Amino acid sequence: MAAASAVVGATFQGLRAVDAPAVSEVSRLRASNVSTSSAQLRFGARRAGARAMAATVTAPKRETDPKKRVVITGMGVVSVFGNDVDVFYDKLLEGQSGISLIDRFDASSFPTKFGGQIRGFSSQGYIDGKNDRRLDDCLRYCLVSGQKALEHAGLGGENLNQVDKQRVGVLVGTGMGGLSVFSDGVQALIEKGYKRITPFFIPYAITNMASALLAIELGLMGPNYSISTACATSNYCFYAAANHIRRGEADIMVAGGTEAAIIPVGLGGFVACRALSTRNDDPQTASRPWDKDREGFVMGEGAGVLVMESLEHALKRGAPILAEYLGGAVNCDAYHMTDPRADGLGVSSCIERSLEDAGVSPEEVNYINAHATSTIVGDLAEVNALKKVFKDSSEIKMNATKSMIGHCLGAAGGLEAIATIKAINTGWLHPTINQFNPEPAVTFDTVANVKKQHEINVGISNSFGFGGHNSCVVFGPYKG
């Protein structure tokens, strides 16, 4: 049973075992398609403490067309630490845990009784009271974080009317959808019959409604849909949103993920998967990525949304530019619904393809926001895949946001993208807390327990999901 539990824990993350050697076709192709960027070489040579090899790094060519370059101009968050991006990141830098015993419902009979439950959430000023009472939390989190991201981008209120709304799209995904509305509808059907099912049951349970309601609220008529790829959802949305901009189909995309699954059926479902930590006596230390004593992930919830914009459009309107989205990639192991690929090709090739798309060489990457959920097999599988891509990890720092906020499922990548961009902006990396007994196989600097100052050249954020969905997005400082 223990072995089965480990497999389930690993496969929930979408991480694949990577013990057998494999040579990525992407790596082979790169050798015949790269060109040297002199600007990148000069930057690498100037960096204090840079490797001697930095002066000879050869990288694919980065995008230079301002119509196709994608920048981040706004961020919005709903989290266990509140709805303010700066407060969210300050709490992460402090190494504060947001994990506590669940009190939203009676969890006393569950083997796991804790999670990253949001308390005191307020939608005042963003959702009218009548609708607020009807909506699933998954939708409420999206509406608040999406509007706050637009405000952050200078597009709140009347300012939004200054842009062409037909060229502003929304792509906010969710792994689970309106789970509370769905659960309540099923209960009403069983106990009282179909006539007692609310007419909002279908609209507020389906996964596309978060994007739809945000667009309806604000009149945004650009590309609009949702993606649901379990815990890889947010990164899939960022990747797709950026490509809409690159293809000239939108000037602005509001993209990210939202999730609200800490309800009885959500908790019970993951308990049944045997993927959760049961450290009920000390919930705040339960999420411990890369620690030898990890024994499962911790459920979280929230939303993380970015305003992604073409550089040309952002410059024209004088927008604040927080960072640049350099590229990304998504793929599937195409192997088995739950079992991992033995060669790890899915994860490593996804990371390599993201770097190729970004015009970045592995040697330029010096920060990784890892998927790292705190499961027994999954954490090491990701590390092994990273070792295949990054042969020298001496200058790379890697941390795990989930150690403090838990695993926010479809919203995880959204919250972690915000953490990555804040790290780029501030020059400070939040710690990976609960590092008591480190795994010796993890040779990366995991920023254990205490924040570290670090100038990010290029950072990547990984997310992997049930079903073999792999995703990686690449961010860097905006350099004009």
Q: Which residues pair with 430 in a beta bridge?
A: none
CA 302 vs. chain centroid, Å, equals 11
pLDDT, position 321: 98
Judge contact between 223 and 252, C-beta under 8 A. Answer: no
pLDDT, position 334: 86
pLDDT, position 212: 98
The domain limits of the chain are: 1-480
Q: Which residues pair with 78 in a beta bridge?
A: 303
DSSP secondary structure of 318-386: T----EEEEEEEEEE--S-SSSPPSB-HHHHHHHHHHHHHHT--GGGEEEEE------TTHHHHHHHHH
Extract the tokens encoding 216: 């309806």
Q: Which residues pair with 300 in a beta bridge?
A: 116
pLDDT, position 480: 86
Length of the chain: 480
The amino acid that residue 442 corresponds to is V
Q: Are strands 452-453 and 428-429 parallel, antiparallel or unpaired?
A: antiparallel
CATH number of the structural domain 1-480: 3.40.47.10
Extract the tokens encoding 381: 């599988």
pLDDT, position 61: 86
pLDDT, position 345: 83
Report how many helices (DSSP H) and strands (DSSP E) the chain contains, helices first: 16, 13
CA distance 117 to 375: 20
pLDDT, position 252: 98
Q: Residue 318, class by beta-carbon neighbours within 10 Å (0-12 exposed, 13-18 middle, 19+ buried)?
A: exposed
CA distance 272 to 64: 49
Q: Which residues of 455-471 are buried (b: 16+ CB within 10 A; e: fewer)?
A: ebbbbbbbbbbbbbbbb
Active-site residue set: 231, 371, 407
The amino acid that residue 426 corresponds to is T
Give which of 209, 470, 147 is closest to 329, Cα–Cα: 470
pLDDT, position 131: 86
Give which of 399, 392, 388, 394 is closest to 447, Cα–Cα: 399
**DSSP code, position 299:** B
Give which of 417, 469, 15 is closest to 233, Cα–Cα: 469
CA distance 361 to 458: 10
Question: CB-based contacts of 137: which residues, under 8 Å, 6+ apart?
Answer: 118, 121, 180, 260, 301
Neighbours of 449 (CB within 10 A): 13
- Radius of gyration, alpha carbons of the chain: 21
3-state SS, residue 16: coil
Q: How far is CA 404 from CA 54, 399, 433, in A?
A: 34, 11, 7
Each residue's pLDDT, cut to its tens digit, for the chain (480 residues) gives: 433 333 334 433 333 333 333 333 333 333 333 333 433 433 444 344 444 333 344 556 899 999 999 999 999 999 999 999 999 999 999 999 999 999 999 999 999 999 999 999 999 999 998 889 899 999 999 999 999 999 999 999 999 999 999 999 999 999 999 999 999 999 999 999 999 999 999 999 999 999 999 999 999 999 999 999 999 999 999 999 999 999 999 999 999 999 999 999 999 999 999 999 999 999 999 999 999 999 999 999 999 999 999 999 999 999 999 999 999 999 998 887 755 566 778 889 999 999 999 999 999 999 999 999 999 988 999 999 999 999 999 999 999 999 999 999 999 999 999 999 999 999 999 999 999 999 999 999 999 999 999 999 999 999 999 999 999 999 999 998
Judge contact between 462 and 382, C-beta under 8 A. Answer: yes
Extract the tokens encoding 391: 């042969």
pLDDT, position 60: 67
Give which of 329, 366, 327 is closest to 346, Cα–Cα: 329
* Phi, psi torsion values for 306, nearest 5 degrees: -115, 145
**DSSP code, position 48:** T
Judge contact between 237 and 227, C-beta under 8 A. Answer: yes
CA distance 332 to 335: 8
